[in-house]
Structure formats: C-alpha cells, structure tokens
C-alpha cells in the first residue's frame, strides 16, 4: 500500500531524511519510532503530498506522491503533529467542512459516526477553542477518519491524551488497522510495542532497525542474561555453573550476584538450578533479564549510524551491555 524507495529530503543543507526505503502492506500497522528530529514528520509529510522529496520515490496505493498527488491525498487520512483545527468553528461544523472537502456522501451521517467513534458526540456543538488538548486530539483523529481512508497516517496520535484516552485511541487504531494500512509515529516505545505489527526505528533520517516488536526483542537479547543469587558464599557457585555445558560466560556482579549468558535457542535455567541444589547451595533467585524495546531503542539511536546493513544491525543488537557503556563513554 505504501512504497518508499530511496527517499531523501534536505532542508537547505540539513538532511532530514536520508535514503529511506520501506513498504507497508494493506492491513498492517507500521510503527515509526525515533527520537525527536529523526525525520518521522518529514517522511509523513512527503507521503501525504504536503511537500515533495529532494530525491527518491514514494507511492501510496500505487499512486506516485508527486505526479498523482491528488489521488494519493484522496486515499490518505492524516493527523499532523500539531493538530490543525479552526478555533472559531464548532466541532460538528469543522468535521462537516472536512467531509465536504473530501467529497463524502451523506456528510452529516458520516460526521455522527466518526464522532461516536472518537467519543465526542456530546461535545459536537462546542467551539473548538473551548476544548481540552485531549479532546482536540480526538477531533483531529476524527477528521483523519471521516472519509474512511485506505491509508491512515498519524503523527504522534496519543500525545496529550490521558491514560484512559490513550488506551481508547490505541484500540481505535488497532480496529482501523485490521482492514486499512496505518502508519503511525511515536516516541513512546510501549505504544509501538502494543499497537504495531511492525516497527521501524529511525534515527537521523536512517532506518536503524525494522522488524516485528517481538523479533526486535529476541534479536536484541541474542544471548539472554540470567541473574543467580545463592545464600552464603557466592564464588564457589560460579565454578558449578561454569561446568554446565552451553553456558557462554559467567561473572560476578557488583552486588554479589552471579550473572551468566544463556544462548537464546536453549533455556539452561533448569540445569543451573539442579546443579546448584545438587552442590548443596541454597538457591535464592534465578531470574532472566528481559530486554524491552526501550533498551533497543536507546542502543540504536544513541550511536551515529553509518550505512547499516542488516547484518550490522544484528551485530549491534547482539552487542554486550558492556559495549553500550563503552559507546556511551565515547559518545561523551
């Protein structure tokens, strides 16, 4: 549904998007993850026909964003980052105006449906200037949904909403995403993790990683770290764990716990437990550290990415935590 290849955008000499390539299928929710200024908004603006790229190609639903801009704009529902609303209009009139511009049939009926969807029915006669930020966000979302677009592009859709509303909006996005293509940008990682079928991490105009949230997580883990605590003297236990076949490395941590590296394909925790108990240690704790998207995100976006190939990304993802610290120091 969305095809982007070699997309590049310069603002003067500043490169906002650098040779970006990705696709989004029908019925897919694609998350665009990255720190502020990563090029998310620019990419979205190019896809919605607001501005042309410096070079590269992008098409939505088979229509080129430059040559068939009007066709693309008909297909796309767009919620920009700063929710654009006419302050002096009533909610209903605003949505009616947007529906008319989109040549929707049965305008008033469609407005009612979309108001119901975003839960703004009781405020339909309010002036937009009197609405709270969360409500405005919902009106903006209603505007993007009014013509039942094939492609929904949302620039940070849950910003400014309270937790209950965030859950509602996420539900709404997931519902829409069943049949339509959704491209959504966020810098809230848990959001991408919950809502998206696929996540693209973008930094400084580059894609640094792209996969399902689950895959990204397992790729990141590479080898899983497990923390072990035993009662009493810890050092002898290290020798016991070291003897277990398959263990990659064992070390003593600062707070007197043992940490070992477990290969991803096999869980060695039961073996470790048995061995320790056999050797008459009192086992207090055996916990696997789960690495979440947050860690991946920080790791990937902290470094200056040079032309990363997928294998580089894998290497980077599998890097030891010590590596992160080292890079952090170098970064400073």
Partner 1 sequence: MRNMWIIAKKEYISFYHSPIAYVIGVVTFLTLGIFFWLQIDFAVQTQQFVPDIRNILDILIFPLFFLAVPVLTMRTISDENRTGTLELIMTAPVRDWELVVGKWLGTYLFILTIIALTWIYPFVLNFMVDPGIDQSLLTANYLGLSLLTAAMTAIGVLLSSLFKNQIAALIASLGVLIILWIISAPAQLMQGIGADLLRHLSITDHYYETFRYGIVDLKDIIFYLSMTVLALFLGTRAVETRRWR
Chain residues binding partner 1 by CB under 8 A are 45, 48-52, 70-71, 73-74, 76, 78, 80, 82-89, 97-98, 100-103, 143
Nearer to partner 1, 12 or 232 (CB): 12
Question: Which of 311, 330, 314 lies closest to 322 in space, CA to CA?
Answer: 330
Helix, strand or coil for residue 140?
A: helix
Query: Is the dihedral angle over the CA atoms 69, 74, 75, 76 positive or is it negative?
Result: positive
Half-sphere exposure of residue 79, counting CA atoms within 13 Å on the CB side? 26
Minimum CB–partner distance for residue 127 and partner 1 (Å): 9
Query: CA 156, CA 187: separation in Å to the nearest integer?
Result: 8
Nearer to partner 1, 22 or 78 (CB): 78
Note whether 7 and 20 are within 8 A (CB): yes
DSSP state, 90? B
Minimum CB–partner distance for residue 246 and partner 1 (Å): 55
Nearer to partner 1, 56 or 222 (CB): 56
Query: CA 235, CA 250: separation in Å to the nearest integer?
Result: 11
Nearer to partner 1, 81 or 295 (CB): 81
Please provide residue 212's backbone torsions phi and psi, each rounded to the nearest 5 degrees.
-70, 155
Nearer to partner 1, 69 or 218 (CB): 69
Minimum CB–partner distance for residue 291 and partner 1 (Å): 38
Minimum CB–partner distance for residue 51 and partner 1 (Å): 5
Nearer to partner 1, 32 or 297 (CB): 32
Minimum CB–partner distance for residue 321 and partner 1 (Å): 42
Note whether 124 and 92 are within 8 A (CB): yes
Query: CA 220, CA 290: separation in Å to the nearest integer?
Result: 10
How is residue 104 written in tokens? 């929707």
Alpha carbon 7 to chain centroid, angstroms: 20
Minimum CB–partner distance for residue 88 and partner 1 (Å): 5
Residue for token pair 């789960």:
290
Query: CA 246, CA 262: separation in Å to the nearest integer?
Result: 8
Minimum CB–partner distance for residue 70 and partner 1 (Å): 5
Query: Which uninterrupted H or E stretch holds 288?
Result: strand 283-288
Residue for token pair 């061995």:
275
Please provide residue 72's backbone torsions phi and psi, each rounded to the nearest 5 degrees.
-60, -45
Minimum CB–partner distance for residue 43 and partner 1 (Å): 14
What does 89-134 look like in DSSP terms, one character per residue?
SBHHHHHHHHHHHTT-SSHHHHHHHHHHHTT-GGGTTSBGGGS-HH
Nearer to partner 1, 73 or 225 (CB): 73
Nearer to partner 1, 9 or 224 (CB): 9
């Amino acid at each position: 549904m969305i095809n982007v290849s070699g997309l590049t955008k310069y603002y003067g000499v500043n490169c906002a998007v650098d040779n970006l390539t990705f696709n989004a299928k029908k019925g897919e929710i694609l998350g665009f993850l990255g720190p502020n200024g990563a090029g998310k908004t620019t990419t979205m603006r190019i896809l919605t026909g607001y501005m042309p790229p410096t070079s590269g190609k992008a098409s939505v639903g088979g229509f080129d964003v430059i040559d068939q801009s009007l066709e693309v704009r008909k297909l796309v529902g767009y919620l920009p980052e700063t929710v654009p609303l006419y302050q002096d209009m009533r909610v209903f009139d605003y949505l009616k105006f947007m529906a008319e511009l989109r040549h929707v049939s049965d305008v008033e009926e469609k407005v009612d449906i979309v108001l119901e969807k975003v839960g703004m029915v009781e405020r339909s006669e309010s002036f937009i200037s009197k609405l709270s930020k969360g409500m405005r966000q919902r009106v903006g979302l209603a505007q993007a949904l009014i013509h039942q677009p094939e492609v929904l592009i949302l620039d940070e859709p849950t910003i400014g909403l309270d937790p209950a509303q965030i859950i509602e909006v996420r539900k709404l996005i997931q519902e829409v995403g069943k049949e339509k293509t959704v491209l959504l940008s966020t810098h809230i990682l848990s959001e991408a993790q919950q809502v998206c079928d696929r996540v693209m991490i973008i930094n400084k105009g580059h894609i640094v990683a792209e996969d399902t949230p689950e895959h990204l997580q397992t790729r990141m883990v590479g080898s899983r770290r497990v923390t072990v605590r035993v009662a009493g003297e810890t050092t002898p236990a290290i020798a016991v764990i070291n003897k277990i076949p398959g263990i990659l490395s064992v070390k003593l941590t600062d707070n007197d716990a043992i940490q070992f590296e477990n290969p991803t394909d096999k869980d060695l925790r039961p073996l470790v437990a048995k061995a320790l108990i056999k050797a008459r240690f009192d086992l207090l704790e055996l916990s696997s550290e789960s690495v979440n998207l947050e860690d991946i995100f920080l790791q990937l976006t902290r470094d200056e990415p040079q032309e990363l190939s997928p294998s580089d990304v894998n290497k980077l993802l599998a890097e030891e935590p010590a590596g992160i610290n080292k890079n952090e120091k170098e970064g400073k």
